[in-house]
Amino acid sequence: MEQSKINIVVGDIIKEDSSENPISEECLHAIEFLLSEDRLNDISYDEDEKECAVFDSFLQKNDMQHLVFMGDDGIGKTEFLRKYFSISVHDTFKIENHKLLIMFSGDGNGILENGSDIKYFAEEIKKVCEYYEQAYIEESEYVIRNYSKFYVFILETKKSALSHSWLEKGLDDSVYMTEIEDLKKNKPFTYYMLKLKYYLLLSQQITDLIVICDNIISKNIYVEIADKIDKCIRNYNKIKNKGYRTKTIFAINNSTYWHLLNKNNLISDITVQKSKNFNIQGLLEAGFDYAKALGEVWMREHGFDMQALQNVKEALDFFNTRFNQKYQRMILGLCMHNKKLVLKCYRTVMCNQTWVRKKRFSYADNAYDENPGFLFNNITCIRALACGNEQVYNPVKIRDYLIPNILYNTEDEDYGIYNLLLMKYFVKRQGNHEFIGNKQENILAICENIWGKSSEYDNFEKAINYLLSKKVLDRYTLCTEEHSGHLFITEKGIELWDMFHGDSILMEICREDRFRDVNLNMEPSYILLNTKRQYLIFEDLLNMTRGFSSFEDKLYLSASERGCSVEYIRTFGKKRMAYYLLEGVSKSITYSVSRSNENLKSICKEVRDLVEAER
């Protein structure tokens, strides 16, 4: 693909002195406090009224044993469960009102992987047994010294767990000890479940066992844990004439849910979707009230005062409601409602010293008078998220996760056109449904049919892998089954697509990284914006759009020569992908200081004629 023209060549960028109007240490500490992950526990769960009602109904009904609680990673399933059941972050089980509740918690990578799953569950149940050992210390000492009573209990409730060597050797303490130690070593989950049942028999108080498996990613464990716990308790009830009730709650992400559903492995009496509500304003209010109640002395001990807290609160309120909550929606979309990542993004914007703190940005004077100290507009906010405190976008250096370079290319390969066409393909398929995708092999088969086993086929395959690595695409399958499942565009991917044709800021950012590996250099937007030369940025973006349109036409021509023009249009749509890029650039030109630039108008018209031309 022909590289677009670069207008200005310069040397290294000289950073400005960042001491001008820096954010005070007190404000930085206040920002960190108000946007701390600890504040998530302050949020009222009034917004989760629907989920609470479903959980209430589930716990009350005897004919319901399994509940699946589904939602995107980081959306707040764990926080909801701990809040609903009043389990602190340090606890794994709770005994209250004749109920024993055990919570198996994932660590962000999910439960369970690398064969350590059953051992992990066994260790958590062991903690409950240790509690009962203290409550029934005489009985537990007897069990430890003399295995016969526990051994007989196992024979009554789970004879198959033993090796039956007692049939040959007879009953004596050495046999008890050997068999039970073997069971503990080889089947720890079964051993501790039996031990737990043994102590439940002694307690005579527990009537309900509630087991929560949080962040499940393994199909096998999902089925096995449900089956083992149910069988254990059902068998126990039958033998001991007890009426214990079991309730099992599985918290899983959406992709795992769809995979289990498609494979007919979903064990569920009721399924509830975690809402995407995130009361950010409520979080700020709760944090503010909390600090205010603790007083000035406590605040000073934590590095800020009431004035700094008030200033930051007002700035956050302004940012959160800016342009009818535009930035809140954008951040939620880019983070796919991962609440911890959302707070990290808010901290990134509010603590940014390069773009967001009020400086002499000549292109944004209109933002000065509304919020002293902070400058919130598309350029500053999105730049802060993409660049951090750097003046130039460099996703490799800042280990980008949130905003990848969709237009990425090198001297040898260009991924940009293929990335954009794939995103357009998935947006077109998705429509109003959240999980409408296609298998990777099916997509590549379409490419092979259109272009044959050519470089286009290889480039689309690389683009799929690139977009998967950047969380623009995902597959609703398990992480252990990499080559199966349907691909779909994520909420993050849709947000990035909307940003491309919403205005030009995403193209401006990608422009700075697009030519990093090419033997060219350019003056970054930061300097051009501050020297009233924004029109040069737009010239570059229009030239890039022209280049994309020309390359797209070459792809279409290649498909036509193979008699596949209809399939090309059916796959990627009739409008050129470059049309959507031009929409964004045109909007920015219309609202920028460059709107009176005649040369820019001429280039824009030329590019528009090109991208809107009939094929």
In three-state form (DSSP H/G/I as H, E/B as E, the rest C), the secondary structure along 278-292 is CCHHHHHHHHHHHHH
Statement: residue 46 has pLDDT above 70: no
Statement: residue 298 has pLDDT above 60: yes
Which of 163-167, 396-400, 565-569 holds the top average pLDDT? 565-569
Rg (CA), the chain: 30
Residue 452, Cα to own-chain centre: how many angstroms?
A: 36
Tokens 């040898």, residue located: 412
Is pLDDT larger for residue 604 or for residue 359? 604
pLDDT in tens, 513-557: 776 655 555 677 888 887 778 888 898 899 999 999 999 999 999
The domain ranges of the chain are 25-42+279-387, 45-273, 416-611
Share of the chain above pLDDT 70, in %: 74
Q: Which of 302, 347, 346, 340 has the alpha carbon at shortest distance from 37?
A: 340
Statement: residue 338 has pLDDT above 80: yes
Phi and psi at residue 250, in whole multiples of 5°?
-110, 115
What pLDDT sits at residue 6? Answer: 32
What pLDDT sits at residue 225? Answer: 66
Task: Compute CA distances 389 → 5, 287, 392, 513, 544, whole Å.
Answer: 28, 26, 9, 16, 26
Tokens 């050129």, residue located: 576
Q: Which fold has domain 45-273?
A: Rossmann fold (3.40.50)
What pLDDT sits at residue 138? Answer: 63
